[in-house]
Amino acid sequence: MKSLPITIDSVRKAYGSYVALDDVSLDVQAGEFLTLLGPSGSGKTTLLMALAGFVRPDSGKLLLGNRDITRLAPNKRDIGIVFQNYALFPHMNVLANVEYPLALRKTPKAQARQQALDTLARVKLEGLAKRNIAALSGGQRQRVALARAIVFEPRVMLMDEPLSALDRNLRETMQYEIRRLHDDLGITTIYVTHDQREALTMSDRVAVMNSGRIQQIDTPQQIYDRPSTRFVAEFMGEANILAPGSARTIDGGDASRETLMIRAESFHLDAKLVGRDGVALEARLCAKAFRGENWLLTLALDDGQEVLVCIPAALASGCAELAAGQRVTAYAPAEKVHAIPGAIA
C-alpha cells in the first residue's frame, strides 16, 4: 500500500464571527504519524473533518499527493476514518461492519470476505467475525473500527480521539497497538487528541493548536523540551514559567534575563546532582504531596510566584521530613532550562 503526503494550504473556516481555522498551513509527509493536539475549541477536529470532506473550508486548499481534494466528496478521497464514537453499525455483526467499505466499492463478495477476515486477523480479532457489536468490549469495538478503516487499503488514515472512551490501562495498550498498525501498514496518519501523553507516545511529529492556529509543529521531544510559546510550554505538562531575574546561577550569579521555562521534573534538591552549570531557586515550601513514584512540592518564590518541583521517590529521601514554611533551594541543570523569547511571564 503506497501512502501519500498531505498539504494543507492557508485553510480558513469560520462559523459566523467564530473563526475555527485561521489560515492554517501544514505539510504531512507520506507515511508519517502526525498528531493534532490542543484543548477543546482549538480547531483540531475541524481541520480533521475538513480533510475528511465533512467540513468545507471557506478558503485555502487541501491536497492529497498532487490531487486537490478541497471540494471532493468524502467517499471519493480514499481516506480511512476512525471516529470518536466508532460509528459502528449495531445491526451488523463484526464481519459485516468490516466488509461494509468494500461493499460500497463494489468489491466482489468472495474477495471482500477474505479481505475482511485478513484485516480482522491483523487487528487481533480472529474468531469474533460473527459476534454482535453489542457483545463487544470497548477495546474490541475500537479494533473493529480500525479494521473497517483500513480494510480497503486507504492512502491516508484520520483518527478523531479514538481512545477517549477507554479506561487508562486499555487506552495505553491501544496506543501501542495503533502505532504498531501504522508502522506495519505505513499509512499516512493524522490523529486528533487533547491528551498530551498520548500525543508524545504515538507521534512522529506533533502540531499543537490553539484558537484555530498551529502554535508549534515539531518532534515530541522538541515540543516538550523546547516549546516556542508560553501556551505550548504550559499545555505540555507541569511547566514553570519564570520571569527574568527569578533564578540565579549555581555559583550565585545572574541567570538569563529572558523568560525561562523549567519542567517540574527537571529540578533536584541536591546541588551535586546538577553540577556547576545550572540555575538555583530559593523559595519557601507551601505544600507537598506523595504521588507514589514521586513527591510534588509547591514552592513560593520571594515575589510570591509558585513553582512546582517533582522529585523522583528514589531521590526524595528527605522530602517526607520537609515542613510547610521551610526554606528550600531547588536546582536545575542548564540543559533543562529553556528560554522562551518574547514570552511574558
Question: Going by C-beta distance under 8 Å and a sequence separation of 6 or more, which residues neighbour residue 318?
Answer: 269
**pTM confidence score:** 0.90
The pLDDT value given to residue 343:
60
The pLDDT value given to residue 344:
54
Measured between alpha carbons, how far is 260 from 280 in angstroms, rounded to an integer?
12
Q: Which amino acid belongs to residue 82?
A: V
Measured between alpha carbons, how far is 138 from 246 in angstroms, rounded to an integer?
48
Where are the domains positioned within the chain? 6-235, 239-339
Measured between alpha carbons, how far is 2 from 31 in angstroms, rounded to an integer?
8
The pLDDT value given to residue 255:
67
For residue 327, with 0-12 CB atoms within 10 Å meaning exposed, 13-18 middle and 19 or more buried, which class applies?
exposed
Are both 6-235 and 239-339 of the same fold?
no
Measured between alpha carbons, how far is 82 from 145 in angstroms, rounded to an integer?
6
Q: pLDDT tens digits, the chain, 345 residues: what are they?
A: 578 999 999 999 999 999 999 999 999 999 999 999 999 999 999 999 999 999 999 999 999 999 999 999 998 898 999 988 878 999 999 999 999 999 989 999 999 999 999 999 999 998 899 999 999 988 899 899 999 999 998 999 999 999 888 888 888 988 999 999 999 999 999 999 999 999 999 999 999 999 999 999 999 999 999 999 999 999 998 999 998 888 888 877 776 678 899 999 999 999 888 888 889 999 999 999 999 999 999 999 998 999 999 999 998 888 999 999 999 999 999 999 999 876 654
Q: Whose grid coordinates read 486499555?
A: 170
Helix 109-122 × helix 94-104 angle, to 10°:
130
The pLDDT value given to residue 28:
98
Q: Which stretch of DSSP H or E encloses residue 113?
A: helix 109-122
Read off φ and ψ for residue 17, nearest 5 degrees: -85, -10
Q: Whose grid coordinates read 477476515?
A: 117
Q: Which fold has domain 239-339?
A: OB fold (Dihydrolipoamide Acetyltransferase, E2P) (2.40.50)
What top-level class would CATH report for the domain 6-235?
alpha beta
Are 327 and 284 in contact by the 8 Å Cβ rule? The answer is yes
For every residue of 149-208, DSSP letters joined together read HHTT--SEEEEESTTTTS-HHHHHHHHHHHHHHHHHH--EEEEEES-HHHHHHH-SEEEE
Q: Considering only CA atoms, which of 236, 231, 244 is closest in space to residue 265?
A: 236
310 forms beta bridges with: 296
